[in-house]
Amino acid sequence: MTEFGVLALQGDWAAHGAILRELGASTHPVRTAADLVRVDALVIPGGESSAMLRLMEPENLARRIRDRIVAGMAVLATCAGVILLAENIRPPQQGLAVLNVDVVRNAYGRQLHSTVAEIVLTKELGKPLRMEGVFIRAPRIVRVSSKVTVLGRWRDDPVLIRQGHILGATFHPELSADRRIHEMFMKAGEAGNG
């Protein structure tokens, strides 16, 4: 059985665990290096990326997670999680640099401080080609490399992306009823563990 981890240092981790369990997954909170070793796939939730970085330091989790992702571990990163994985972050901040995108933190300002918007999807997630997106102090993806597939946009901005086994959403899918993103992540986790 695939063991799904949720990085549980800070932020909205509990809701992801509940959804994955509802979809039939076996889930574990990940707070230490020992926890990380036990899981096959990982959710990096929304929250505050700078706070998460600090909390990852004692166990050197940023580097350990990076090494696992490079080795093929499936990841679902949402909001602050996308910031943590991005190659370039503005204003500059440390990160895992595994996702070939540039992001600007809190870039939407008051416009998207906390808002529900309609995301337009490509075909990969099936119908409907619309999805609700809850944005909370969301980062803006301002560049994607050719390795990145854009699965969803809000206006012209990529807000749901995939790069191989890394799935990233700048919004909070755990706060909406649509389960397609978690299902896609579970499939990637199960395939990686097969």
Q: Is 79 in the site for ligand GLN (CB under 6 A)?
A: yes
Nearer to ligand GLN, 28 or 137 (CB): 137
3-state secondary structure of 161: strand
Select from 2, 25, 44, 46 the one that contacts ligand GLN (CB under 6 A): 46
Supply the residues annotated as catalytic: 79, 172, 174
Distance in angstroms (rounded) separating the CA atoms of residues 145 and 71: 20
Q: Is 33 in the site for ligand GLN (CB under 6 A)?
A: no
Nearer to ligand GLN, 48 or 59 (CB): 48
Q: Is 137 in the site for ligand GLN (CB under 6 A)?
A: yes
Between strands 140-144 and 99-104, the pairing is antiparallel
Q: Is 83 in the site for ligand GLN (CB under 6 A)?
A: yes
End-to-end, the C-alpha distance of the chain in Å comes to: 9
Q: Is 49 in the site for ligand GLN (CB under 6 A)?
A: yes
The DSSP output letter for 134 is: E
Q: Is 102 in the site for ligand GLN (CB under 6 A)?
A: no
- Nearest residue to 50 (alpha-carbon basis) of 42, 62, 41, 59: 62
Q: Is 55 in the site for ligand GLN (CB under 6 A)?
A: no
167 - beta bridge partners? 76, 162
3-state secondary structure of 133: strand
Query: How many residues lie near ligand GLN (CB under 6 A)?
Result: 11
Residues of this chain that interact with ligand GLN (CB under 6 A) are 46-49, 79-80, 83, 105-106, 136-137
